[in-house]
């Protein structure tokens, strides 16, 4: 089909080889090379079309964006021309990134403006969620691990996208990579002083972004880099719930989206999303680097507390230790890392709670800083450490070790968070644990042969010498995981995120790594054979 681009045409559909529109007589071959096949979308300021470039061999597909100003006054036309030039310049700057469509051509004809871009074949994330349902936590983390570096690059070119949303992220069919489209709402808009109120309103609808995804400062026409972080956070909510922001409740006093009861994610990831979605730009992550750092380096504080001490009992009584007590325990002989110091403080708190009778009374009445109080607090920490050692044989335990039956029963009842658990040596062959969170868990020599671990989170987990033969690990998150010596023969690792994972001695013979995020250096340390499918989709030895 040949599609007519005349906005006033009453019947734009024509036969594929027609030279002029049968309805309005307009020429159908744009610039004597682009034949429009169908309309892809339309908005207040223009439309997007799928076309073929007949001037090139094979007539490859391309996307044509037509900017149609609603009015033709000189001021509106100049503003439209400025916006058009700005989007073309933006695409020219950022189009060298492999996950941003390349700008192929741009021109003006008959008071209309045209951008020709690379065509990206695939489904949007909005279509993906509608077809397959919401993502797991691991799936969203993998999404962020792919989009955040792209956003780093875009912001590094001094560009604010301003319209990040599921409909503007396409998973490219060719390599399953996410591609960010539609740079029509870029930041540097024309000075509104040029326009009257009605014309300014028309432009604002074009350049402001999408309500619900755009944060308050962007709606007030003052976007910053952190505005894209907010929109990315709302996109994460959509991926987790399948609900658009317009379908979510919000706090009328603060404007915050009320989302926490709708998702089932770890406390740490909740904290990261909360900061991405801060209404106040001052309290939000300022850039993509900060979000990446939070996802990768911030400890799971609540899991740490559970892992380093016995489970506390909730009480309305005040804590026995104050800030002065914690500083006393942070002496030169105390653990040096922040994590270890926090663990020591937690142990001391719990030990102090367990002190009974006169000892409790004495501990709370002795002045802070006195040698006697310091000694008692250190003794309390030691008692807790001894108790922990006696129960598990380790000076720093993880959560109580469940049996395979207990773990499967918990999973069947809806539990998905096994962060920091010690699951070493368990037999979970052929178990269904898809979407589970094993972040920082101990899984040495665990038997997960043939297990369903789709979309599971193994970030920083210890899987050394684990049996994962024929396991389903598609889209699993394995960043910084220790897989040394693991048996991964025949495992499905397609589109898994293995960045910085230790694969030394891992057996990947016959494994499927199609689209996996893994480096050549990592693969060189593992065992592969002719049946291994590499990220490129090709079989053979590395």
The annotated binding site for ATP is made up of 65
CA torsion, points 323, 328, 333, 337, in degrees to nearest 10? 0
Cβ(470)–Cβ(490) below 8 Å: yes
Question: Which residues touch 142 (CB under 8 Å, ≥6 apart)?
Answer: 475, 477, 495, 497
Residue 394's SS3 state is: coil
The token pair at 285 is 């992550």
Residue 267 designated active-site: no
DSSP states of 485-539 as a string? Answer: T-B-TT-B-TT-B-TT-B-TT-B-TT-B-TT-B--HHHHHTSB--TTPBPTTS-B
For the CA atoms of 242, 248, 251, 255, what is the dihedral angle to 10 degrees? 80
Binding residues: 65
Q: What is the DSSP string of 227-267?
A: HHHHHHHHHHHHHHHS--GGGS-B-TTT--B--GGG----H
- Three-state SS for 212? coil
C-alpha–C-alpha distance, residues 138 and 474, integer Å: 11
Can you list the pairs that 148-151 forms with residues at least 24 positions away whose Cβ atoms lie under 8 Å? 148/232, 148/288, 148/291, 148/292, 149/288, 149/292, 150/97, 150/99, 150/100, 150/178, 150/180, 151/228, 151/229, 151/232, 151/288
53, 163, 417, 492: which is the annotated catalytic residue? 163
Q: Are 484 and 464 in contact (CB under 8 A)?
A: yes
Asked whether 242 and 134 are in contact (CB, 8 A), the reply is yes
Question: Is 307:396 a contact under the CB 8 Å cutoff?
Answer: yes
Contact indicator for 396, 339 with CB cutoff of 8 Å: no
Three-point CA angle 215, 219, 220, nearest 5° = 120
Q: Is 349 helix (H, G, I), strand (E, B) or coil?
A: helix
Distance CA 340, CA 52 (A): 61
Separation of alpha carbons 494 and 533, rounded Å: 9
- The span from the CA of 469 to the CA of 484, in Å, is 14
Q: How far apart are CA 177 and CA 99, in angstroms?
A: 7
State residue 141 phi and psi, 5-degree precision: -65, -40
What is the token pair recorded at 8? 């006033």
> Taking the CA of residue 61 as centre, how many other CA atoms within 13 Å lie in the half-sphere pointing to its CB?
9
Cite the active site residues.
163
């Amino acid at each position: 089909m040949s599609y007519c681009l005349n906005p006033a045409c009453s019947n734009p559909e024509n036969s594929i080889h027609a030279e002029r529109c049968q309805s309005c007589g307009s020429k159908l071959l744009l610039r004597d090379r682009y034949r429009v096949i169908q309309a892809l979308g339309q908005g207040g300021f223009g439309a997007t079309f799928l076309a073929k470039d007949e001037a090139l061999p094979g007539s490859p597909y391309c996307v044509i964006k037509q900017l149609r100003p609603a009015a033709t006054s000189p001021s509106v036309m100049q503003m439209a021309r400025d916006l058009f030039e700005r989007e073309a310049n933006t695409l020219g700057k950022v189009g060298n990134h492999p996950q941003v469509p390349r700008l192929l051509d741009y021109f003006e004809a008959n008071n209309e403006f045209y951008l020709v871009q690379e065509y990206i074949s695939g489904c949007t994330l909005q279509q993906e969620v509608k077809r397959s349902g919401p993502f797991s936590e691991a799936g969203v983390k993998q999404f962020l691990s792919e989009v955040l570096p792209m956003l780093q690059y875009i912001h590094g070119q001094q560009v604010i996208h301003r319209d990040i949303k599921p409909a503007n992220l396409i998973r490219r069919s060719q390599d399953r990579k996410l591609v960010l489209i539609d740079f029509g709402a870029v930041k540097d808009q024309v000075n509104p002083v040029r326009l009257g109120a009605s014309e300014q309103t028309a432009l604002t609808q074009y350049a402001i972004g999408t309500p619900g995804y755009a944060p308050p400062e962007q709606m007030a026409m003052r976007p910053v880099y952190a505005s894209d972080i907010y929109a990315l956070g709302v996109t994460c909510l959509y991926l987790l719930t399948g609900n658009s922001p317009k379908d979510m409740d919000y706090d009328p006093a603060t404007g915050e989206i009320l989302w926490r009861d709708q998702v089932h994610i770890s406390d740490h990831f909740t904290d990261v999303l909360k900061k991405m979605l801060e209404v106040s730009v001052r309290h939000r992550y300022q850039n993509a680097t900060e979000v990446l750092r939070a996802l990768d380096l911030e400890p799971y504080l609540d899991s740490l507390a559970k892992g380093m001490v016995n489970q506390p009992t909730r009480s309305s009584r005040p804590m026995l230790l104050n800030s002065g007590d914690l500083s006393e325990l942070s002496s030169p002989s105390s653990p040096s890392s922040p994590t270890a110091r926090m663990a020591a403080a937690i142990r001391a708190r719990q030990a102090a709670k367990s002190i009974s009778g006169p000892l409790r009374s004495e501990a709370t009445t002795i002045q802070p800083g006195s040698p006697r109080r310091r000694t008692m607090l250190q003794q309390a920490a030691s008692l807790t450490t001894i108790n922990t050692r006696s129960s598990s044989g380790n000076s720093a335990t993880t959560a109580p070790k469940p049996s395979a039956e207990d773990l499967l029963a918990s999973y069947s009842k809806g539990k998905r968070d096994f962060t920091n658990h010690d699951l070493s040596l368990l037999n979970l062959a052929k178990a269904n644990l898809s979407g589970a969170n094993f972040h920082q868990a101990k899984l040495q020599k665990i038997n997960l042969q043939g297990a369903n671990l789709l979309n599971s989170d193994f970030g920083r987990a210890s899987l050394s010498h684990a049996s994962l033969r024929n396991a389903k690990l598609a889209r699993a998150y394995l960043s910084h995981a220790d897989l040394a010596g693991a048996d991964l023969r025949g495992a499905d690792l397609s589109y898994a995120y293995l960045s910085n994972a230790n694969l030394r001695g891992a057996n990947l013979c016959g494994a499927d790594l199609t689209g996996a995020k893994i480096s050549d250096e990592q693969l060189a340390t593992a065992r592969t054979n002719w049946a291994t499918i590499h990220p490129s989709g090709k079989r053979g030895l590395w």
